[in-house]
Amino acid sequence: MNRIPFDEWNELFKGDPEAFEKKRQEFLESYIIDQWSAEPNKQQRARATLWRLEQNYRHIKDPVERFNMIVAEFWKQVSKLKDALDQFKL
């Protein structure tokens, strides 16, 4: 997968938000394909999760606020996983 250093991502975001968005989408799609190359069902689930996140947070324009909201969502999902795993404890 082609990785772009933070400074380059930052400059692209500041200088050309449309190009940044295109590059971001390409990066995420490449990541999904690389991670689950032999598992199309998992690719589809990852795309669906990404779509849901983007729909939930598309109205947030500040990148730091958006990041914080997504981190909060991550921890909410970790908590759900922990609760599910706790049900299997003896």
What pLDDT does residue 1 have? 56
pLDDT of residue 69: 93
Instruction: Output the six-digit token pair for 49.
Output: 């999760």
pLDDT, averaged in runs of 10, over the chain (90 residues): 81 93 94 95 95 91 90 94 87
Please give the pLDDT value at position 63: 84
Give the Cα separation of 43 and 20 in Å (integer). Answer: 23
What pLDDT sits at residue 88? 86
* pTM for this entry: 0.74
- What's phi and psi for 39, nearest 5 deg? -130, 80
Task: Give the model's pLDDT for residue 25.
Answer: 94
Q: What is the pLDDT of residue 18?
A: 94
Please give the backbone phi and psi of residue 12, each rounded to the nearest 5 degrees, phi first. -65, -45
**Tell me, what's the pLDDT at 86?**
92
Q: Which tokens in the block code for residue 42?
A: 């998992």
